[in-house]
Amino acid sequence: MQNVRLRLAAALWLGAMTGVVVLSLTVIPQLLENSPRQVPTWVAIAASVVQSGVLVALAVWAGVALSRSLGLGAPAVEAALSGSGAWAALKPQLIPAGLVGLFVGGLLLFLQRVAPAELLALGQNMEIPVSAKLLYGGVTEEILMRWGLMTVLVWAPWRFVQKRHGLPRPAYVIGAIFIAAVLFGVAHLPAAAAMGAGLTAPVVTYIIVGNTVPGVLFGFLYWRNGLEAAILAHALAHAIAVLIGGV
């Protein structure tokens, strides 16, 4: 069992870091072009990868250490690593992930139409490649926010209030879903500021609400179906937005 957990941690960390590397290589050079600071590109990329690597490691460790006791997990990945039928574990996740992915993809297209003019102008000067949206958005963000943060937020009241009796109460899980989703939205503010966006009330509201709603849905998928469902839905949403609207 311990060997499987170590392999699970390694697989999730490597998957998340793929997104980190792709995003760092493609986005940081664009940010530095508009930055007055004379920081060598390779230094900025290396610092980003190292910092993100530590955060990902913490999130992966939290999920691996705590998820099983909470009734959470990554069943398909675990089954693949243990050789016990990954497809059987993944198949029940596909329809829920597909439905949420379609809805969130449509939401992203709608949000693009009502975005503040300032963000639309910045978007024309910043190109985030599809690979970064799928790998960082779909994989890395879900491992950080759901597997890591949401798991800890469920664990805390289960450990200290419920005293580890049975599975966490639904109220604890739902609360964790919403808190993680709001923090998911807030976490996008520094990136917007780095791109040059002024954090005005319309911009902040748009960013937080626009990321919180998908975050809630991804959180429910993680709870009810597994981490893979959240990852697939997130990646599918970006794929739909790119294919239909170039978002």
Measured torsion, CA atoms of residues 92, 219, 236, 55, in degrees rounded to the nearest 10: -120
How does pLDDT run across 112-132, given as a tens digit for each residue? 999 998 888 777 777 889 999
The whole-number pLDDT of residue 1 equals 62
The whole-number pLDDT of residue 109 equals 96
* Residue 37 clears pLDDT 70, i.e. is over it: no
- pTM value is 0.95
The whole-number pLDDT of residue 177 equals 98
DSSP 39: -
Asked if residues 214 and 133 have their Cβ atoms less than 8 Å apart, the reply is no
Query: Is the model more confident about 68 or about 38?
Result: 68
Residue type, 247: V
How does pLDDT run across 163-205, given as a tens digit for each residue? 999 999 999 999 999 999 999 999 999 888 877 788 899 999 9
The whole-number pLDDT of residue 237 equals 98
Mind spelling out the 3-state secondary structure of 145-213?
A: HHHHHHHHHHHHHHHHCCCCCCCCCHHHHHHHHHHHHHHHHHCCHHHHHHCCCCCCHHHHHHHHHHHHH
Taking each continuous run of H as one helix and of E as one strand, the counts in the chain are: 12, 0
Pick from 24-28, 82-86, 97-101: least confident = 82-86
The whole-number pLDDT of residue 116 equals 92
Task: Report the C-alpha gap between 30 and 70 in whole angstroms.
Answer: 41
State CA 159 to chain mean position distance. 25
- State the pLDDT confidence band at 147, using cuts at 50, 70 and 90: very high
Query: How much of the chain, in percent, has pLDDT values that exceed 90?
Result: 81
With 0-12 / 13-18 / 19 or more C-beta atoms within 10 angstroms meaning exposed / middle / buried, residue 237 is buried
* Residue 13 clears pLDDT 80, i.e. is over it: yes
The whole-number pLDDT of residue 120 equals 83
How does pLDDT run across 58-91, given as a tens digit for each residue? 999 999 999 999 999 999 999 999 888 899 999 9
- Mean pLDDT taken over the chain: 94
State CA 152 to chain mean position distance. 15
The whole-number pLDDT of residue 36 equals 67
Q: Distances from the Cα of 75 to the Cαs of 14, 94, 170, 234, in angstroms?
A: 17, 13, 20, 18
Residues 6+ apart with CB under 8 A from 158: 69, 70, 164, 168, 169, 172
Query: How much of the chain, in percent, has pLDDT values that exceed 70?
Result: 96
**Which two tokens mark 20?**
């980190």
